[in-house]
Structure 1
Amino acid sequence: MKFMQEIIGHYAQILREETDMFLKNMQREALTAGTFTQEVYELLKDYVSRGKFLRGSLLLFAQECYAPKYDVQAVQAAIALELIHAALLIQDDIMDRSVLRRGCLALHKSFESRGEVEQFQEVKKTGESLALCAADALIFVALRLIKHGELMDLFSKELHRTALGQMADIMGSASRKTFSKDKILKIYQYKTARYTFSLPLAAGVILAGRNPAQLEKIGEEMGLLYNLRDDYLDFTSTSGKDQGSDFKENKQTMYRLLLCEKTSEEPKDFEHYKELLEKHGVFKEVDQLMLTYHENILKQIAQLDILKKEELALLATNLLTRKK
């Protein structure tokens, strides 16, 4: 927890303030489009501010692994990454039919609530359509902030992978079959791991004028550990997002795969699913897989010649033990 509170927390607070200022500027620019856009931006500012700012913080942190202090270009790129991340979450919640996000209503549900009050026609469709447009707006304004040519190429490459990973995730939820371990890990890698860790770490190193290969590789394994822990938190979370959403949406996870390998018994509901996982030792098996990733990450970090080696190791440990 030390890393999150003392290091990431510091970067996150700076980015939260800078992002709010940027969105206020965009809000003023949007005045010409009418008063409703002002209400949309109020929702977006609140929605974005509730995030952890993990990705943007990692970008600033990565630059400081090789340079004394992050610069303005890094702050702009970090804000862009956070805005794009928020946009992807808005889209993801519509696809997954999620009700909650970041401790509040998902954005499309906020628009639906307004539609019910104002008696919109086709409230659900309108709420989802407005949320998708709001997500587009976040992506489009974010593009203004990526001013480094190599960084634009990196963002494009990694976010393309994210889109492909999301498509594979959707196909997995629709499939009656359980995917192989390699295929599930590839979804983790593309949908979450690379854009959550490899992208910001590589971007920060590039802005420091160094080769990003080592941190990019470590970032990918950190992202896989993050995703595995995220799957575990789906069983325990009491706030922020819907508990049991992976089970309800038929997600391809390591928990699902390992259970299928051990029994043909079909879970009747989410509680029964948890009972089966416990009974067949799946929780312990995934815990061991996370420990293996953690140990491998620490070995790679030990070989790095960077300014923030200890902090990076603390982050890896935090990923293993985080509660949200």
Structure 2
Amino acid sequence: MTTSPLESAGLRPRVDKALSAFLAGQRAHLLEIDPALAEVADAVSAFVLGGGKRLRPAFAYWGFRGAGGTDSDEVVTAVSALELVQASALIHDDLMDRSDTRRGEPSVHRRFELLHRAEGWRGTATGFGGSAAVLLGDLAMVWSDELLHTSGMGLAELARARPVFDRMRTEVTVGQYLDVHTQATGNTSLERAGKVARFKSAKYTVERPLLLGAALAGGGPEIFASYAAFGLPLGEAFQMRDDVLGVFGDPAQTGKPAGDDLREGKRTYLVASALAALDEAGRGELDGSLGDPLLDDAGVERLRAIIRDCGALAATESRIDALNGEALSALEQAPIDDEARAVLFALAAAATRRSV
């Protein structure tokens, strides 16, 4: 049986072990402050440890190895910090999108709404849940920084990594804002959809993790340039695959209700492609239904048909293939270790040909 690239070097269980140990320590610290914080610690731990492919730590780790770095528990701990950045982004994203579920479980804001109702507390459950999600997302981002700088990596390695890590966290945050801004303004251009995808997800999913690994290893300018040429198009392809799944994915596999992206009005590359291809009547129907939280299953099916029949789905799949080809060509030429190159090829396939 073929080993998943996410399991190479035993990485996934090692990442989970590092995260579990860190979160256990944080739980103990929170309980010293107040017993009410047990629910905060448990919610963050459940979110971080309850699922996820560990794709970002994998790209960072193999970026490190490809740049000449030597395996250690310390570097695994350092790259595990990316999972806390991911948790922060997803907790906030679910709140902004008013998503009910994540990975088949209640989203964080819904979890705290349920807690409020169960305890019969004052005020509104919705307000409490939203406030809790903002704060827990912020806490996960704060903890990402703490996990990186307490990983055991040397001061020189951390000093090289810090600018990459800081820039990545800025990019994902402003990318989230651009997503909200694009929905509010109704910008339907392919250029804008591509920019949102690039900064909200693409850069911090592949490119920045690779560069973080290269920085930890002390890689030179050629390594950085090669990783950027590989990572950015691959990250964009990853986000486009995610957008396709957000409209056409199976809820049993994605863990989110069917058509959620349509109800949320996300102006993705897929949707922008459809709006560019449709006639005036088709554009009016699609644009008029996007962002309708009451869109029923029949409405979702109708919008799916519009997107598929106008050729937007095929165009997006073609774009995913083109970006993937660009990325793989850059990886083939990268001056990196052959073992790392092979794993990165496999990770690229896992990122863009997934079904969940």
Query: Which category describes the TM-score, using the shorter chain as reference length?
Result: over 0.9
Q: Residue 152 and residue 277 in structure 1: after superposition, are their counterparts in 2 closer, same or farther (change >3 A)? A: same
Deviation at 1:150, TM superposition (A): 2.5
1:5-45: per-residue Cα shift (whole Å, max 9, x none)? 56469312211111011100111111222112122212221
1:198-221: per-residue Cα shift (whole Å, max 9, x none)? 111001111111122211231111
What is aligned with 2:18?
18
AA aligned opposite 2:173: A
Deviation at 1:175, TM superposition (A): 2.1
- Give the counterpart of 2:274 among 227, 246, 259: 259
What is aligned with 2:45?
45
What is aligned with 2:132?
130
What is aligned with 2:209?
200
TM-score, reference length from structure 1: 0.93
The alignment partner of 1:224 has SS state of helix
What is aligned with 1:249?
264
Deviates more, 1:303-312 or 1:16-25: 303-312
Q: Residue 108 and residue 175 in structure 1: after superposition, are their counterparts in 2 closer, same or farther (change >3 A)? A: same
Equivalence map 1:175-214=2 (5 Å): 175-178=185-188, 180-211=189-220, 212-214=224-226
- Give the counterpart of 1:171 among 148, 165, 181: 181
Which 5+ residue runs of structure 1 have no aligned equivalent? none
Mapped partners of 1:208, 1:18: distance in 2: 20
The alignment partner of 1:52 has SS state of coil
Mapped partners of 1:10, 1:30: distance in 2: 31
Deviation at 1:72, TM superposition (A): 4.1
Mapped partners of 1:8, 1:197: distance in 2: 17
What is aligned with 2:314?
284
Deviation at 1:73, TM superposition (A): 4.0
Mapped partners of 1:316, 1:13: distance in 2: 20
- Give the counterpart of 1:237 among 250, 253, 268: 250
Equivalence map 1:24-63=2 (5 Å): 24-49=24-49, 50-63=51-64
Mapped partners of 2:182, 2:43: distance in 1: 32
What is aligned with 2:293?
none
Q: Residue 203 and residue 6 in structure 1: after superposition, are their counterparts in 2 closer, same or farther (change >3 A)? A: closer
- Give the counterpart of 2:333 among 299, 303, 309: 303
What is aligned with 2:294?
none
What is aligned with 2:229?
217
1:94-153: per-residue Cα shift (whole Å, max 9, x none)? 101001112211011111111111112211101111122222222222222333122221
Percent identity between the two aligned chains? 25
Which 5+ residue runs of structure 2 have no aligned equivalent? 150-157, 290-298
AA aligned opposite 1:80: A
Is 1:156 the counterpart of 2:166? The answer is: yes
Deviation at 1:51, TM superposition (A): 2.2
Mapped partners of 1:145, 1:112: distance in 2: 29
Is 1:143 the counterpart of 2:145? The answer is: yes
Mapped partners of 1:312, 1:132: distance in 2: 34
AA aligned opposite 1:98: S
Contact 1:87/1:139 (<8 A) preserved: yes
Deviates more, 1:99-108 or 1:138-147: 138-147
Deviates more, 1:304-313 or 1:87-96: 304-313
How many positions carry a matched residue from both structures? 323
Across the aligned residues of Structure 1 and Structure 2, the Cα RMSD in angstroms comes to: 1.9
Mapped partners of 2:232, 2:193: distance in 1: 14
